[in-house]
Amino acid sequence: IIEAGQPEHSVITTCAYCGVGCSFKAEMRGDEVVRMMPYKDGKANHGHSCVKGRFAWGYSTHKDRITKPMIRAKITDPWKEVSWEEAINHAASEFKRIQKKYGRTSVGGITSSRCTNEETYLVQKLVRAAFGTNNVDTCARVCHSPTGYGLATTLGTSAGTQDFDSVDEADVIMVMGANPTDAHPVFGSRMKRRLREGAKLIVIDPRRIDLVKNPHIEADYHLPLRPGTNTAMLNAFGHVIVTEGLMDEEYVRERCDLEEFNRWRAFVADPKNSPEAMEAFTGVKAADVRGAARLYATGGNAAIYYGLGVTEHSQGSTTVMCMANIAMATGNIGHNGAGVNPLRGQNNVQGSCDMGSFPHELTGYRHLSTDSVRQQFEQDWGVTLDPEPGLRIPNMLDAAIEGSFKGIYIQGEDIAQSDPNIQHVIAGLSAMECVVIQDIFLNETANYAHVFLPGSTFLEKDGTFTNAERRINLVRRAVKPKAGYADWEVTMMLSEALGYPMHYNHPSEIMDEIARLTPTFQNVSFKMLEEKGSVQWPCNDKAPEGTPIMHMNGFVRGKGRFMITEYVPTEEKVGPRFPLLLTTGRILAHYNVGAQTRRTDNVVWHPEDVLEMHPHDAEDRGIRDGDTVSIASRVGETTLRVKVSDRMQPGVVYTTFHHFGTGANVITTDYSDWATNCPEYKVTAVQVRPTNRP
C-alpha cells in the first residue's frame, strides 16, 4: 500500500549543480518529482549529497519558468508569445538576413556547461555546419579555460589527472584557490575524511577558508597570499624543490623532456624565484613557503586540488603550468594519491570543453587546423569547415560593439550576470540585431534578447554530464519537458529552419555520433553507460573499461613538458583611489549566478551577497558589521552590506555573485588570462566607503 505523499517509483539521474556529479534517485509520484535522494551506487558520491543537490531542485517547477516561446522586434518592446514554429522561423530568418547583409561570420553561438554533452555538441555543430562559422564558445571560457590550456600544454590533455577515489591514498593534500567544503561539498567531505585519517594539508588561499581550521582539522600550512601572486608562490615552491634536491630525478629522466626540464630547473633555481625574493609579492613568510614546499615534495603521495582561484587570473594558464611543473618534478602524476586536479564548478564544464565548444577545437580537443581531423567532420556532417578559429566570447562582444558581429544564439548561459564588466557585456548585446536566448527563466541576458526559446531542466531530458574526474554519467528524463521540447530538440528545430536538418530520434544517437568522431569517446554509448553505471574517458579500444588515472604509463603528449613560468604582476594595481583588492567566490547554499538556487528554499540561508572585510580595514573606514557600503572600481560601483571577518587579510575584501544587481560583476574588470581570455575575476582594485559618507 502506498501512502499519500509517498513515492511510487524513481528515476536515477545526475545532479545538475557542481562538477562532483552526484547520482540521485528522483523519487516520483505519478508525473511529479517528490524527493531527490542520493543514490548509493553513484560512483562519484557513494550515497552522499549536499544541500544543493538534495534540496534545491524546486526551481524546476517555479512559477517563473517560461514555457511559451516569445519574440519581439526591439528590446524595448513587450514580449509576444508565439508558437514554436513562429519563434524558430523568426530566429532563423533573422540569422539568415544578418548573414546576407553582414557576412557569414557576423553571427555565432554560446554553449552551456549546465546542458548535456549531447546538447552542447549540437549547438557547436549548428554554429559550424548551419551558420558556417567557428564563432562558438562555451561558458567554460570564464572559468576553466586555463585548465584546458595549461594541462594540454604540459601533459597533453585538457583534464584532471585523477579520479575522486584517489584522494584516499593521498598523504599530502594541497588545496589552492578552491573552497571544496562550500563549492564541491561531497568531495570536500571526502577530503576531510582523508585529513582526519592523518593526511597533511597545505592551503594556498588569500582567505581563511573552512578547511584551514575547523573543529576537526587544522591545516599544516595556510599560505594567505596576496591575490594575483599564485605564479610567484609556485615558482618559489619550484625553487625549494630544485635547490634543496627534493626532485624525483628518476621519474623526470624517464618521463619528461629533459631539455625543457633543464631550462625550467635553471629558471626556478634563480634567486629571484626564491621564497625570500617572492615574499615581497606574495606577502607570505618565506619560512612558511619553504616548509610547505618541503612537505609537498617529501611527504609521500601529494595531490593538488584547485579551483577558480587559480584559473581566473591574468596568469591563470601560467599557474596551471606551474602546478604541472612541480608535480612532474616530484613524481606526483600517474599514480594513486597524487595528480593535478581541477575542481570544476559547473556540472558539465568538463563535458562542454570535451564536446568541441571552443572556437579553435573540435571534439576531444583536436585542432581545427589539422586537416585529417577537419576532414573527418566534414565527411560526417556533409559540410566544408573553415580551418581558422572563430571568436571567443569577449571578442564576439568587442566585434558587436565595433559593428561586425550582429547575431547570437545563447543556450543556458547568462552572460549579463556571469561575465566580467557587465557594462561591456550589455554594450555588446545591445549592439546586436538578433539575440536568441534559450533558457528556463527570463534571465538578465534576456533583457537584450529578441527571441526567447524556453529551455528544459535536467529532470526533463535524457543525456550525459561529465564530471570533474572525467566520469560520464547518465541524465535520465523523469518528467516531460514543461515547454514541450528538450533543449536538444530545440537546437535541431533551429538547425532545420536554417537549412541544415539534423536527424536524431534520441540523445543516444547523438552520443553514437560523438563516439564515432572522438577517439577518447570511442567505446562510449548509452547502452554501455546503462550497463556500467558510468565510465571515465578515455574509453576506447586501448582502455575499454575507461581511465580512472591518466598518464600512468607515460604522458598523453609523450614526454612531460616543463614550462618557463615567469611571474608577471597583474595590471590591476591598488593605489590611492582604489586601495583594496576584491576577490570573489561561492557559498554552500548557492550556485553561481543563483538563477536556480535563488528560486528554492536555499535562499533563506543566504538572502544577499555580502562583503567580507578585515576588522582593521573596517575600523579605518569607520565601518561596522552590517553597515551598507559602496564598492567602487575603475569600471563600476555597487552596494553591499559588510560582514567584518578575520577570515580576510588586511587589504583584501571578498564577495559572491549569487544575487543580481548588487553582484560583483558590476565592478570586475575585463583584464583576462593571457592565453585564454579567462577573466581576472579574482583581482579587482576597489575602494569601500560607507554609503552615508562622500
Q: Note the residues at the interface with ligand SF4 (CB under 6 A).
A: 15, 17-18, 20-22, 45, 49-50, 52-53, 184-186
Three-class DSSP category at 150: helix
Task: Tell the residue number behind the cell numbers 534540496, with chain if given.
Answer: 55
State how far the Cα of 506 lies from the Cα of 550, in Å rounded to an integer. 31
Looking at 110-218, list the stretches that DSSP marks H as alpha helix, in order from N- to C-terminal side. 117-125, 145-154, 180-183, 185-196
Phi, psi angles (nearest 5°) of residue 118: -65, -40
- Strands in 451-454's sheet, in edge-to-edge order, are 80-81, 70-71, 451-454, 434-439, 407-411, 107-111, 136-138
User: From the CB of 189, what's the least distance to ligand SF4, in Å?
Assistant: 9
User: From the CB of 341, what's the least distance to ligand SF4, in Å?
Assistant: 15
Three-class DSSP category at 589: coil
Q: Which is nearer to ligand SF4, 193 or 263 (CB)?
A: 193
User: From the CB of 465, what's the least distance to ligand SF4, in Å?
Assistant: 9
State how far the Cα of 377 lies from the Cα of 383, in Å rounded to an integer. 8
User: From the CB of 115, what's the least distance to ligand SF4, in Å?
Assistant: 16
Task: Tell the residue number behind the cell numbers 597583474, with chain if given.
Answer: 570
- Looking at the DSSP bridge assignments, the partners of residue 108 are 408
User: From the CB of 428, what's the least distance to ligand SF4, in Å?
Assistant: 31
Handedness of CA 242, 247, 249, 255 (dihedral sign): negative
User: From the CB of 596, what's the least distance to ligand SF4, in Å?
Assistant: 11
Beta strands in 79-230 (DSSP E): 80-81, 107-111, 136-138, 172-176, 200-204, 213-214, 217-218, 221-223
Q: Judging by DSSP bridges, how do beta strands 580-585 and 628-632 pair with one another?
A: unpaired
Q: Which is nearer to ligand SF4, 465 or 567 (CB)?
A: 465
Q: Which is nearer to ligand SF4, 578 or 591 (CB)?
A: 591
Q: Which residues contact 156 (CB under 8 A, 6 or more apart)?
A: 551, 555, 556, 557, 558
Q: Which residues contact 39 (CB under 8 A, 6 or more apart)?
A: 12, 22, 23, 24, 25, 45, 47
Q: Which residues contact 70 (CB under 8 A, 6 or more apart)?
A: 79, 80, 81, 82, 87, 451, 452
Phi, psi angles (nearest 5°) of residue 548: -65, -45
Q: Which is nearer to ligand SF4, 52 or 313 (CB)?
A: 52
User: From the CB of 15, what's the least distance to ligand SF4, in Å?
Assistant: 3
Q: Which residue is nearest to ligand SF4, using beta carbons?
A: 53
Q: Judging by DSSP bridges, how do beta strands 340-342 and 302-306 pair with one another?
A: parallel
User: From the CB of 16, what's the least distance to ligand SF4, in Å?
Assistant: 8
User: From the CB of 663, what's the least distance to ligand SF4, in Å?
Assistant: 20
- Cis peptide leading into 538, omega within 30 of 0? yes
User: From the CB of 18, what's the least distance to ligand SF4, in Å?
Assistant: 3
Q: Which is nearer to ligand SF4, 15 or 173 (CB)?
A: 15
Q: Which is nearer to ligand SF4, 24 or 377 (CB)?
A: 24
Q: Which is nearer to ligand SF4, 318 or 352 (CB)?
A: 352
User: From the CB of 50, what's the least distance to ligand SF4, in Å?
Assistant: 3
Q: Which is nearer to ligand SF4, 173 or 396 (CB)?
A: 173
| Buried-exposed string 42-76: b where 16+ CB fall within 10 A, e elsewhere | bbbbbebbbbbbbbbbebbeeeebbeebbbbeeee
Q: Which is nearer to ligand SF4, 110 or 183 (CB)?
A: 183
Q: Which is nearer to ligand SF4, 454 or 594 (CB)?
A: 594
